[in-house]
Amino acid sequence: MASDSKHTAQLKSELYFLIARFLEAGPCQDSAETLIREVQEKELLPKRIDWTGKEHPGSYENLVKLYKHTSPDHLLRVCERVGPLLEREVPASVPGVNSLLGVGRQSLLRTNKSCKHVVWKGSALAALHSGRPPEPPVIYGSPPNIVETSYSRKLNGSYRLGQLVPTAVYSHMKMHKRILGHLSSVYCVAFDRTGRRIFTGSDDCLVKIWATDDGRLLATLRGHAAEISDMAVNYENTLLAAGSCDKMIRVWCLQTCAPLAVLEGHAASITSLQFSPLCSGNKRFLSSTGADGTICFWQWDARTLKFGPRPSKFTERPRPGVQMICSSFSAGGMFLATGSTDHIIRVYYFGGDQPEKIAELESHTDKVDSIQFSHGGDRFVSGSRDGTARIWQLQQQDWRSILLDMATKLPGKYNPPPLEDKVTKLKVTMVAWNRHDNMVITAANNLTLKVWNSYTGSLIHILMGHEDEVFVLEPHPFDPRVLFSAGHDGNAIVWDLARGVKIRSYFNMIEGQGHGALFDCKCSPDGQHFACTDSHGHLLIFGFGSSSRYDKIADQMFFHTDYRPLIRDAHNYVLDEQTQQAPHLMPPPFLVDVDGNPHPPRYQRLVPGRENCREEQLIPQMGLTSSGLNQVLSQQAAEGSSPLDSMIQRLQQEQDQRLGSDSRAARGSVSSPTEVSSPPNVGLRRSGQIEGVRQMHSNAPRSEMATETDLVAWSRRVLVPELSRGTASKQEIWRTARGEEEMNVYRSERRRRSIHSQYHRENRHATESTVEEGRRHQGNQHNYHTRLAVEETSRQSEANEEEPSASEGEADARPPSRESSDEEREEKEPWPDDHSSSSDYSSDYSDWTADAGINLEPPKKTTVKKKKKNTSSSEEDGEKKKEKDAKKERRKEKQDKDGALPKKKKPKEKRKRLPELQEQGLTLEEWLPSDWITDTVPRRCPFTPQMGDEVYYFRQGHEAYVEMAKKNRIFSINPKKQPWHKMELREQELMKIVGIKYEVGLPTLCCLKLAFLDPDTGKLTGGSFSMKYHDMPDVIDFLVLRQQFDNARQRQWMIGDRFRSVIDDAWWFGTIDSQEPYQAEYPDSLFQCYNVCWDNGDTEKMSPWDMEEIPNEAAFPEVLGQSVPLTAEEHKALLYRPLDGEWGSRTRDEECQRIIAGIDQLITLDVAAPFAVPVDLQAYPTYCTVVAYVTDLSTIRTRLENRFYRRMSSLMWEVRYIEHNAQTFNEPGAFIVKTAKFVSDLLLQFIN
């Protein structure tokens, strides 16, 4: 302390001296003389030290001579230096503004600690300022607690994204997987419109489709003969277009991978490709620019997906060698801006019948190689090799720009040193907008990114972190603060644009090969993932959450057919040279590594179409090529038979006879020579000395030929789903509105145009007269059938709103319509007589009539009465009447949902077409059952009822549910019809679930029949009641498994005991504070009887079955109050343990594996194909409005793998629902109903 005070005194004396020097040289001479006299009298000047070390008072004159290196303005220069030095360590709020009198973040006394804000309290977060949520400053320190912000949002109804999702969240994104899937550099990557699929286009001429969620390779699109230069996905998520250096554009159907068009309009490489967002009826446009200096506009039909044979073509080549390089559409699709090597930006307008050029902007002095419209669509930014970027906007009858000079430096802040030795001329390499369009980001060849204010053109931030040039800038799809960049240095960086700092960086280091330059990067529409591609052929997938699903795939993924030679027809459509089939119609290929070696069977199941194959079908046969390399020939034949073999063979014969197919020959063993000759490598871009995966071609064996049966089965597979009708419609409405707004702005500006622009208009019209306009004919026809053709009838009928019923002998799995029938069904499905005093609606939900044990019986068949409908003589009047009747019926059903049970059940409500649902304000997503019903993984909470469950029913919880449902008006419910008004119920009753049925509605309801159970004998006492409910947030489960309840009751919790509980798959820790009944009128009930305090300070009521003891080896959080992830072993230990006899004489694991093997065989049959995978709701959008509990064989198989079912009777109940759903959705007697009965009966026999 003494040394500190001595040091301060020394600084003070020096300060007095410098002040005197400063005053002496200024206008205040009298003040200077007075100050000098006083500091000498009071000995405040620095002391003089003699040779013995003694101090003596120094005079002012002597000090001036002693410190002659200090000029009179020395103090001023010191003050000027303090600000910039402090700016590096603790940035100020306003960069470049330095004041000695500043306060807070502008103070020269600021420190890192003093500039950190205290975490706001809940009251401050919940307050609204002028009707808006609070807005903390950009440099706000730690984000508020997520619990506080969530609660505050509940209170005030809104909150800022920056508080709910601080940018620190993006630091948790990690690289899930790096996959080698191409043999050359990959310059193109794109997500589909749902974000669930990734497309990569490579220099190896291939386009590949990958699954975002687990990294699987789904398909390879072949056909191009040169490098892929650009790709685009249309806004409806139905088409993928790829441009190549072979001068062609190929368009594929994303649902079936069928080639739809080969567009030939350029005389040189394709440089950019864009689908227009413009919506004009069914008319759509695809634009392409080429190295030949032309731009083509290809018109296509959104309904038929047919492309016109000739484009509207503009040749923009004022001199030889000019190339069109880049293009970008406005948000509404009314404008397209292009950049070229002749320094000119051209703008095209789509408000007329055909595109027209409206402007040529000549402000840049070098080639324009990057251009991008804003998300709002009213401005665009262009980047040029001249070292500038410009922000353009249509104003005052002209396109005006704001200049962004890459040589601009940030005032008052640290700027990167000049790179004269490396960079002779600054060039813009890429431009981008942030999501809110208030910032423009530019990348330059001096390795920096610059962030600009898009309205003023002022420089905001300089971002440094890359060590090589950056050609990829990708804004976050909805967060305006976040930007992704990728460069040739192998770095992918996530930036915080608001603060100008790096959030996280990833380095693409490849073992043994150095780093891989990143060539492209895209972010998924939901912001959960981003993907990069590199110079070595890798796809890198980044995202939030666990990488466990990606660990199940191989690091190298190729199909053995990827590089097989192709043959081309006159229209440049391709066929596989060996099989003479279109690539998308070939059987599912095998997965191999880069050397051509097949992957193990567990990886082969990842190939679409091989998910349910038998083990022997996943092991390919190998043969030798002429060069001595192993290659995949076909799959191995089955070696053994199973209990289902005889029935499968008989059924297959019937199926083949019915379909007129002799495909049985392909199901036998495949005999092939051990050595095959390899044809020349025709059709590949690179020929010569190639090996490994490039040698995957030979004379194709019979097993690689697709039969007619295969084509029918494959036509039902959808690799990339369309956007849902509701989402697509909403986006189309938004794009249409943006387009109309852009058109209105342009027209108003054109009307205001002065007479001085007459010359330019005439000049423009003269240029436009050279446009080539082709007539719109049908697209090129193929001479082979595609999967799209199989579905064409279904598409057309949906478009025409007609649903003809299928004939009884029809092989197609397409469900026939009930609306086409003249008969309506009346159903009676009573519960069995159980001598119970149930509620009035109890007889409406039974699917099962026996005791919920092993020997359960099938559901009683529905009795059907047919009656004639009244029809109108006018078809139009009849359609309107049907719609009116359907709406009345819906309202009536809603009113009577809890009314008295009629003697006869009401006629079943007719299925509504999707347009009718949309008229009522309902979307397809709203009809989908919740995860609580569709989940395939067993969970302890929320409770999912299964047939035969012994449960404790808690009246208090049921009353709370009814009250909440009534309060929120979730569905029509009558509290007086509840079971406690019909019979005497205790606070907790031991019950058995003897009936389950699900009811279609918003939401989907579970209807249960509960029978009273004697706790001593375990037998039913005879009484029962029924109830409806669904899983609802903030409502505690009031049905608890008996096993779970008994275990909890044995623990005997005491006050002060520590416990842990599972919430959202994580352990949370707390302490029991006290015990008191949840309601005073039920003093003995254990429901919510403990008051607990969590380690984070929150208090809550808990039930004993929701609390677990803390074992000695338990892992604890590093910070008190946080959670610990639940391990797989711990999750398994919490689940139900089957009792003796519930799975027959075997264990559950043995039975599940046996039944899985049976399903694997059953699923390969053609007759089981309609039930093998979930129903495609895009093809049959009304399915989920008719069928409440959706299930299929693959779902049942997955649940068996996860040990979802608690007993065999639960499994058999769900198997019966396959037939039940087919009967519900289709006409009685239809072929698919009979097929469903056969499949379910066959599987039930096998289970028994």
Split at pLDDT 50, 70, 90, the class of 631 is low
Give the pLDDT mean for 256-261: 92
The pLDDT of residue 50: 80
Is pLDDT above 80 for 156? no
pLDDT tens digits for range 393-412: 988 778 999 999 999 988 76
Give the pLDDT mean for 558-583: 90
- Give the least confident one: 54-63, 416-425, 742-751: 416-425
Give the pLDDT mean for 148-164: 73
The pLDDT of residue 854: 34
- Give the least confident one: 95-109, 539-553, 919-933, 1172-1186: 919-933
Residue 1082 CB partners (closer than 8 Å, separation 6+)? 955, 956, 987
Q: How far is CA 633 from the centre of its chain?
A: 37
Residue 893 CB neighbour total at 10 angstroms:
14
Is pLDDT above 70 for 675? no
The pLDDT of residue 758: 46
The pLDDT of residue 693: 56
Show the tokens assigned to 1163: 């699923």
Split at pLDDT 50, 70, 90, the class of 556 is very high
Give the pLDDT mean for 381-390: 95
Is pLDDT above 50 for 680? no
Show the tokens assigned to 982: 């019909």
The pLDDT of residue 782: 34
- In whole numbers, what is the pLDDT of the chain averaged over residues? 77
- Give the least confident one: 559-563, 694-698, 998-1002: 694-698
Which has more pLDDT, 39 or 268? 268
Residues of the chain within CATH 1.20.920.10 domain(s) are 1138-1248
pLDDT tens digits for range 262-295: 999 999 999 999 999 998 888 999 999 999 999 9
pLDDT tens digits for range 863-917: 333 333 333 333 334 433 433 343 333 333 333 433 333 333 333 333 344 444 4
Split at pLDDT 50, 70, 90, the class of 462 is very high
Q: What angle do CA 304, 307, 313 make, to 5 degrees?
A: 150
Is pLDDT above 50 for 676? no
pLDDT tens digits for range 1-25: 455 567 788 888 888 888 888 888 8
pLDDT tens digits for range 108-137: 888 877 776 666 666 677 777 777 777 666
The pLDDT of residue 416: 66
Split at pLDDT 50, 70, 90, the class of 1041 is very high
The pLDDT of residue 634: 52
Is pLDDT above 90 for 82? no
The pLDDT of residue 1185: 85
Give the pLDDT mean for 1047-1075: 89
Show the tokens assigned to 222: 């072949």
Residues of the chain within CATH 2.30.30.140 domain(s) are 936-1129
Give the pLDDT mean for 1230-1240: 89
Q: How many CA atoms lie within 13 A of 433 on its CB side?
A: 26
Under 8 Å between Cβ of 1200 and 1163 = no
The pLDDT of residue 1010: 93
Going through 222-280 in order, the beta strands assigned E by DSSP cover 228-233, 239-244, 248-253, 259-264, 270-275
Report the percent of the chain where pLDDT is more than 70. Answer: 75
* CA nearest to 1193, candidates 812, 815, 936, 945: 936
The pLDDT of residue 417: 64
The pLDDT of residue 647: 53
Q: What is the C-alpha end-to-end distance of the chain, expressed in Å? A: 88
How far is it, in rounded angstroms, from Cα 582 to Cα 573?
A: 9
**Burial of residue 1182 (number of CB atoms within 10 Å: 0-12, 13-18, 19+):** buried
Is pLDDT above 70 for 684? no
SS3 for 374-411 is CCCCCEEEEEECCCEEEEEEEECCEEEEEEEECCCCCC
Instruction: Provide the 3-class DSSP secondary structure of residue 1043.
Output: helix
Write the DSSP string, 708-742.
HHHHHHHTT--SSPPPPHHHHHHHHHHHHHHHHHH
- Give the least confident one: 26-35, 462-471, 988-997: 26-35
Burial code (b: 16+ CB inside 10 Å, e: under 16) for 984-1023 equals ebebbbbbbbbbbbbbbbebbbbbbbbbbbeeeeeebeeb
Which has more pLDDT, 835 or 233? 233
The pLDDT of residue 190: 96
Is pLDDT above 80 for 153? no
Is pLDDT above 90 for 334? yes
Is pLDDT above 80 for 757? no
Split at pLDDT 50, 70, 90, the class of 666 is very low
Is pLDDT above 80 for 51? yes
- Give the architecture-level CATH label for domain 1138-1248: Up-down Bundle (1.20)
pLDDT tens digits for range 804-837: 333 333 333 333 333 333 333 333 333 433 333 3
- 296, β-bridge pairs: 288, 313
Residue 1132 CB neighbour total at 10 angstroms:
11
pTM above 0.75, yes or no: no
- 998, β-bridge pairs: 1006
The pLDDT of residue 849: 34
How far is it, in rounded angstroms, from Cα 559 to Cα 693?
A: 8
Write the DSSP string, 140-188.
--SPPPHHHHHHHHHHHS---HHHHS-GGGGGG-EEEEEEE--SS-EEE
The pLDDT of residue 413: 61
Split at pLDDT 50, 70, 90, the class of 628 is low
The pLDDT of residue 285: 94
How far is it, in rounded angstroms, from Cα 911 to Cα 210?
A: 36
pLDDT tens digits for range 962-974: 888 888 878 788 8
Longest dimension (CA), the chain: 127
Split at pLDDT 50, 70, 90, the class of 1128 is confident
* CA nearest to 957, candidates 998, 989, 993, 997: 989
The pLDDT of residue 243: 96
Split at pLDDT 50, 70, 90, the class of 44 is confident
**Total H helices, total E strands in the chain:** 24, 54
pLDDT tens digits for range 309-323: 889 999 888 777 889
Residue 971 CB neighbour total at 10 angstroms:
17
How far is it, in rounded angstroms, from Cα 715 to Cα 720?
A: 13
- Give the architecture-level CATH label for domain 936-1129: Roll (2.30)
Split at pLDDT 50, 70, 90, the class of 925 is low
- Give the least confident one: 115-119, 501-505, 686-690: 686-690
The pLDDT of residue 193: 93
The pLDDT of residue 787: 29
